[in-house]
Structure 1
Amino acid sequence: MLYITEIYKSLQGESTWSGLPCTFIRLSGCNLRCSWCDTEYSFSSGDQISIENIIEQVKDLDCDLVEVTGGEPLAQDDAGLLVQALLDLGKTVLVETGGHMDIDLVSNQSFRIMDLKCPASKMTHRNDLNNIAKLTSKDEVKFVIQNKDDFLWAEKTIREYKIEKKCNVIMSTVFGVMCRKELATLILQSGLNIRMQIQLHKLIWSEDTQGV
Structure 2
Amino acid sequence: MSQPQPRLRISEIFHSLQGESTRVGLPTVFVRLTGCPLRCVWCDTEYAFTGGEMRQLDDILSEVAGHGARHVCVTGGEPLAQKPCLDLLRALCDAGYSVSLETSGALDVAPVDPRVSKIMDLKAPGSGEVDKNLWSNLEHITASDEIKIIIASEADYAWAREVLARHGLTQRCTVLLSPGAGLVDPQDLAAWILRDRLAVRMQLQMHRIIWGDRTGV
TM-score by length of 1: 0.98
Aligned counterparts of 1:59 and 1:200: Cα–Cα separation in 2: 24
Aligned counterparts of 1:76 and 1:142: Cα–Cα separation in 2: 22
Aligned counterparts of 1:117 and 1:28: Cα–Cα separation in 2: 20
* Residue in 1 that maps onto 2:17: 11
Instruction: Give how far 1:45 is off.
Output: 2.0
Aligned counterparts of 1:197 and 1:47: Cα–Cα separation in 2: 32
Q: What does the per-residue CA deviation read over 1:8-32, in whole Å, with 9 as the maximum and x for residues that have no partner?
A: 0000000000011000000000000
* Residue in 2 that maps onto 1:203: 209
Aligned counterparts of 1:165 and 1:45: Cα–Cα separation in 2: 40
* Structure 2 unaligned spans of 5+: 1-6
Residue correspondence of structure 1 range 23-172 to structure 2 within 5 A: 23-172=29-178
Question: How many residues are matched?
Answer: 211
Instruction: Give how far 1:159 is off.
Output: 0.4
Instruction: Give how far 1:176 is off.
Output: 2.0
Contact 1:108 1:136 in 2 (8 A): no
**Identity percentage of aligned residues:** 42
TM-score by length of 2: 0.96
Aligned counterparts of 2:162 and 2:30: Cα–Cα separation in 1: 32
Instruction: Give how far 1:105 is off.
Output: 2.7
Give the counterpart letter for 1:185 in structure 2: A
Helix, strand or coil at the partner of 2:12: strand
Helix, strand or coil at the partner of 1:9: strand
* Structure 1 unaligned spans of 5+: none
Q: Which runs of 4+ in 1 moved over 2 A?
A: none
What is the root-mean-square deviation in Å for CA atoms of aligned residues?
0.6
